[in-house]
Structures are given as C-alpha cells and as structure tokens.
Amino acid sequence: MGVNKRLNRLVQDTIFTRDLYLQEYSPVDDSTIPLPNPILDRFCSKILPEIGHQIETLYLKGTSIEPVLHATNYPNLNNLGLCDIHFKQAMSLFVDENPLIHIFKNQVSSLKINFNNKNNSCPMVGISSVIFQKILTIYTNLRCLKCNPSSPFGDALYLYPANGIAICPTLLELHVSVTDMKQCLHILDGRFDQLRILYVTFDSVSPEFFNIEDNVEKGYSQCHIYSYPYKLKVYNNITNNFPGGLFTCVTQVSLYDERPFEHDFFLRIAQSFPFMKELTIKNQKAQNKKQFIKSNSDDQILSIIEYPNLTRLDLTNTHDDYIELFLFDRKMSLPNNLHLCVDYQSLERVTYYFTRYITRNHCAKLAGVYFYPLNQIDENIKNYFPHTCICRAVDFV
C-alpha cells in the first residue's frame, strides 16, 4: 500500500481489520474525538479500499462518518456504530436516495447511534423519533438497535401507538431512551413482536408518584423491572410489593423493607423461589400480626413455611420477630444443613438465654451458627446447639 511497512503489516492482518474503531482518544477529558483530517484522508484513500472486504464492525464518530462510509464497499459489514452524529447528518443518511442504502438495507444486523445536538442546530423534539422510524424501515435485517440509549430528556423518543402492527419483525434487542413510562409501554404493544431484550431510560415520572405518602424513612427508593422468564440466579431487595411468580433459576434472594414482613409474605417467597439456597433479610420493623397469632389457641391456622433447599440464612440486620419466625418449628420448616448468621444479643432474647423449648429443635439441627463475639460461649450455648459448628460472623462468607 506504500504508507509504511508497519502499518502495511497491521492492515493486512484480519485480527486488526475485522473490527475498526476509527476514533482518537483524548486524555484531556477521557473521551474520544473524530480522527484528524490528515489521518482520516489517508485511511479513506489508501487503507480502507484495501481492507473494506475484511471489515465486520465499524465504529465512527462525528465528521468522519460519511467520508469513511463513502470510501469503499463493505460487503461483510454487520455491526455499525455512529457516535456523535448530528440530526441533519442522520436525516441525510437514512433516506432511500442515499447511495449507502445498500449497506443499511440487508447487511447491518447491529446498529448503535448516538445523536449530537449540543449546538441546537435543529429542534430536538420529535427529530430523534423520525430518525428512529426511518432506521426501522430501512434496516430489514436489524437484530440489535441502540438508539440514543442514555440521552437527555430532550433527545428522548416519542412513540405513537402502533395498534399491534409489527414494524420491525427481526429486532431482538433494543436499547432506547423514551420520554416517560407510557412510551415504554408503547414499545411493548406488539410493534416489536420478536423483542427479547429491552433496556429503557426515561426521565419523566407521572406527577401522581410525587404525592405518595408512605412513611418512607430512607432518602432513596428503588424500581425493579424484570423480563420474564427471569434467568438470573440472584433477586435482590424484594419488598412487600413483590407480586409473586415462579423463578426457578433464582438461588440467592435478599429481602428489604421499611414495613414489616408478615407470615403470608414469607409463604409467597417460598412459592416463588422453590430452589432458593441463600436468603438475607433486612427489616427492623416488628410484625403487626404477631399478637393476633399469639391470641389464637390454635397456632396451626397458619400454614408452615418451607424452604427445603435453604443452606444459608443471614438475619444479622433484622428485628427479633424474624429470628423467632425461623426458629419456631410450628411456623417454619428448615433443612438440616442450614448455616445461620445472627446477632448474638438477638439470639439470646429469642431463645430466652438458650433455655426456650420451642426454638430448641431448629437450633439443634443447624449445621452452623455465626455470631460475634465468641468469648461469650458457655456450656448452655453448647448444649443448645449440640451438633452445630459455632463460628465467628466474619467467617460467614
């Protein structure tokens, strides 16, 4: 190619030419910028025409987008990233008259596009939505689309109802920023009937949410939106609002709330996570319905909660009521190989200083109990946990 010998060797190696990221790193602000014109001109005139047939992935930025795309043919290109692209530039690219349309039409299966409107060169509202619709129309083989996935509110998409009509039947994965939750629901109205993975960012929350008074004590909140079927092994920070369901892949669960967990909640957890092995509970609120249960002469009015696969239980940050719940054999059925991490003082109170009969059965069958400090262990404790390994809390890992 006559540029220089070292570069000649690199560009002829498919390891380097298969995936090209034509951007320059800027150490000033830890960002990327378009290639300088001299380097860009050399790539477009000398290098790309020689290696265009080898390129499968191409990431371009700003002013280098069109020169690179026009430099040569890319018969094997299937992954395309267009970063920092201006709206007018994007509008001209995604029209039927553009000579590059053959690349977009059938080849590209994965597209990432991030818009740049820092100079407010054209109105933001609605422009990104128009481009989004054009992309879905032009890319007939699109499998993955990342369209302004984390844009500011003004650049977010606004989607109209599609009345169940599939407008991109090939799309499997979508990353997008929308104006509000209603727009998120429009995505799921049937227009993407093969969609499997959805990542959504939205900044606008309905005003009704701002007026909810639920005695929140902490200065933060959480929102969980999960796909179904749920394939992850971990499900964290479940609250009383948990609707239930069946999660057969989950083995590790944590529960957290500022309102008490009642008996029926733990039943719902048992039904939803039949293969749960690890459970962590964080709740400092006493149970409201505990006194009602005590006032009944028949404790069996409540179903016994069963966690047959549970091997690790962390109750170090819970109210005594939850320790009592798990140690009462009339309320809970536990396996023989369970390791329990618990606060020592709480355990003393619940077991009446290791003399209480109704908690003795479960304590005797524990494989391990973890608390701090260990220098308080005496014969009463050892007799109360006759077959249990007594360890430090720091060893509960």
21: CATH: 3.80.10
The verdict on 235 and 145 lying in the same domain is: no
Q: Are 211 and 230 in contact (CB under 8 A)?
A: no
The verdict on 153 and 187 lying in the same domain is: yes
The answer to whether position 268 is within a domain reads yes
- Number of folded domains that form the chain: 2
The verdict on 292 and 321 lying in the same domain is: yes
* Residue 263, SS3 per DSSP: helix
The verdict on 327 and 299 lying in the same domain is: yes
pLDDT of residue 156: 55
Q: Are 89 and 119 in contact (CB under 8 A)?
A: no
The answer to whether position 215 is within a domain reads no
pLDDT of residue 33: 73
The verdict on 360 and 249 lying in the same domain is: yes
The verdict on 178 and 247 lying in the same domain is: no
Q: Are 17 and 55 in contact (CB under 8 A)?
A: yes
Q: What would the two tokens of residue 91 be?
A: 């509008």
Cα 229-233-237 angle, rounded to 5 deg: 95
Q: What's the CA gap between 217 and 36, in Å, rounded?
A: 54
Output the tens digit of pLDDT for each of the chain's 397 residues: 445 666 666 666 777 778 888 877 656 555 677 778 888 898 889 888 888 888 999 988 888 888 999 899 999 999 999 888 887 888 888 776 777 777 777 889 999 988 876 655 444 446 677 788 888 888 888 999 988 765 544 455 656 555 545 578 889 999 887 777 777 777 877 778 888 888 887 655 555 444 545 555 655 556 665 566 778 899 999 999 898 889 999 999 999 999 999 999 999 999 999 999 999 999 999 998 775 444 444 444 678 999 999 999 999 999 999 999 999 988 899 998 999 999 999 999 999 999 999 999 999 999 999 987 666 677 788 889 988 998 888 888 7
The answer to whether position 139 is within a domain reads yes
The verdict on 362 and 326 lying in the same domain is: yes
The verdict on 151 and 237 lying in the same domain is: no
Provide the H-helix boundaries in 191-230: none
pLDDT of residue 269: 96
* Residue 246, SS3 per DSSP: coil
The verdict on 305 and 373 lying in the same domain is: yes
- pTM comes to 0.51
Pick the last residue of a domain from 170, 205, 240: 205
pLDDT of residue 215: 53
69 phi, psi to nearest 5 deg: -65, -30
Nearest to 370 by CA among 394, 354, 346: 394
300 phi, psi to nearest 5 deg: -75, 5
Q: What's the CA gap between 215 and 213, in Å, rounded?
A: 6
pLDDT of residue 211: 52
| Residue 86 CB contacts under 8 Å (≥ 6 apart), including other chains | 62, 115, 116, 117, 121
Q: What would the two tokens of residue 394 be?
A: 């720091």
Q: Are 56 and 79 in contact (CB under 8 A)?
A: yes
The answer to whether position 217 is within a domain reads no
The verdict on 140 and 245 lying in the same domain is: no
Q: Are 370 and 395 in contact (CB under 8 A)?
A: yes
Q: What is the domain range of residue 86?
A: 5-205
